[in-house]
């Protein structure tokens, strides 16, 4: 669960202006004071830090783009770079997935709607590269 001082709960969606979300909440969600790593995968922004991953997608109904598929599923459409592939294709032996949650948010008209945390329910790859991933909210 996200810290209370971040005024977010991983079970309650909150719409927050995009710039405020990026400056104030991203460091809290992904952890640490070091600059997080940022990637683009299928139109979605993927932010990785030492404590977690955050995936931000544009609100879109295009099936070829990453985004919310329905009330319970989020799809990330690759190809994805190696760090994203490694995180979503499975944690190394002995690592607790809960130690590095996956946060999901959607960009809507200049604001971000935080949807909560998700778990990988299915992932596909080709030649070791993530091609598609379904996450369950």
2-61: per-residue pLDDT in tens?
444 444 555 445 688 888 888 888 888 998 667 889 999 999 999 999 889 999 998 876
Beta bridge partners of 11: none
- 27 CB contacts (<8 Å, ≥6 apart)? 33, 36, 49
Find the Cα–Cα–Cα–Cα dihedral 128, 82, 122, 74, rounded to 10°.
-150
66-125: per-residue pLDDT in tens?
888 888 999 999 999 999 999 998 755 445 555 689 999 999 888 899 999 999 999 999
By DSSP bridging, strand 53-58 and strand 44-48 are antiparallel
Question: What's the predicted TM-score (pTM) here?
Answer: 0.82
Q: Quick one: which of 112, 114, 104 has its CA closest to 134?
A: 104
Task: Fill in the DSSP letter of residue 19.
Answer: H
């Amino acid at each position: 669960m996200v810290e209370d001082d971040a005024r977010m709960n991983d079970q309650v969606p909150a719409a927050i202006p995009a710039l405020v979300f990026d400056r104030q909440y991203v460091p809290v969600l992904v952890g640490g004071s070091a600059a997080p790593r940022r990637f683009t995968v299928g139109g979605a922004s993927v932010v990785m830090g030492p404590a977690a991953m955050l995936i931000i997608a544009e609100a879109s109904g295009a099936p070829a783009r990453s985004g919310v598929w329905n009330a319970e599923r989020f799809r990330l459409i690759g190809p994805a770079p190696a760090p994203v592939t490694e995180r979503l294709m499975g944690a190394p032996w002995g690592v607790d997935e809960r130690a590095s949650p996956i946060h999901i948010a959607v960009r809507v008209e200049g604001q971000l709607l935080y949807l909560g945390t998700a778990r990988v329910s299915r992932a596909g790859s080709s030649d070791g590269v993530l091609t598609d991933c379904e996450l369950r909210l």
